[in-house]
Chains A and B, each alone.
Chain A
Amino acid sequence: MKQLLVLSGKGGTGKTTVASALIKLMKASVFADCDVDAPNLHLVMQMNSQPQRSDYIGLPKAFIHEDRCIQCGACTENCRFHAIRFDSVFKVLPYACEGCGVCKAVCPVDAITLEYISDGELLLYQDFDRIFSTAQLKMGSGTTGLLVSKVKKQMIQFAANDSVAIIDGSPGIGCPVIASISGVDFVLIVAEPSISGISDMKRIVKTAEKFQTKLMICINRYDSSIEKTEEIENYCMENKLPYAGRIPYDEQAVKLINQGKTIVDVDCNSGRALRKIFVKVMAFLNENNRIEKYEN
Chain B
Amino acid sequence: MKIAVLSGKGGTGKTLVAVNIAAVAENAVYVDCDVEEPNGYLFFTPELFDRKEVSVLIPVIDRSICTLCRKCIDFCNFNALACIANRMILFEEVCHSCGGCRIVCPVSAITEKEKVIGHIESGVSKNVIVKTGILNVGETSGIPIIRELLNENENDQRISVIDCPPGSACAVMESIRDADYCILVAEPTIFGIHNLNLVYELVEQFHKPHGVILNKCLEGENLAEQFCAENQIRILGRIPFHQEIGMMSSKGLILVRENETHRKFFVNLLNKVIEVIQNETITCP
Contacts and interface: CB of A to CB of B under 8 A. Distances in A.
A–B contact with Cβ pairs below 8 Å: the answer is yes
Interface of A: 9-13, 16, 37-38, 40, 43, 59-60, 78, 80-82, 95-96, 98-102, 105-106, 137, 139-143, 171-175, 178, 192-197, 199-200, 203, 206-207, 210, 221, 224-225, 227-228, 251, 254, 257-258, 260
B42 A196 contact: yes
Contact of A95 (B140, B141, B173, B252): B173
A11 B137 contact: no
Contacts of B85: none
Given A140-B173, A174-B135, A199-B39, A38 B166 contact: yes
Contacts of A174: 36, 135, 139-142
B138 interface: yes
Interface string B26-58: 000000000011010011000000000000010
Contact of B75 (A60, A95, A101, A178): A101
Nearest to A179: B140
Nearest to A14: B11
Contact of A210 (B77, B138, B139, B187): B138
> Chain B, interface size: which category?
35 or more
B190 A195 contact: no
A137 B8 CA distance: 13
B98 A40 contact: no
Interface stretch (B231-239, B242-250, B256-264, B277-285): B242-250
Given A10-B10, A203-B137, A254 B170 contact: no
Contacts of A142: 169-170
Contacts of B140: 174-175, 178
Contact of A37 (B100, B141, B168, B249): B168
Nearest to A36: B169
A13 B251 CA distance: 16
A267 to B, nearest CB: 21
Given A171-B37, A199-B42, A224-B246, A37 B169 contact: yes
A141 B205 CA distance: 13
B167 to A, nearest CB: 4
A224 B250 contact: yes
B20 interface: no
Contact of B170 (A141, A196, A225): A141
A221 B241 CA distance: 14
Given A96-B174, A203-B37, A171 B10 contact: yes
B37 A10 contact: yes
Nearest to A224: B246
A78 B170 contact: no
Given A12-B9, A78-B99, A140-B168, A59 B77 contact: yes
B223 interface: yes
The 5 closest A-B pairs by CB, nearest first: A11-B10, A12-B11, A100-B98, A194-B250, A196-B39
Nearest to A97: B170
Contacts of A106: 103
B8 A194 contact: no
A102 B100 contact: yes
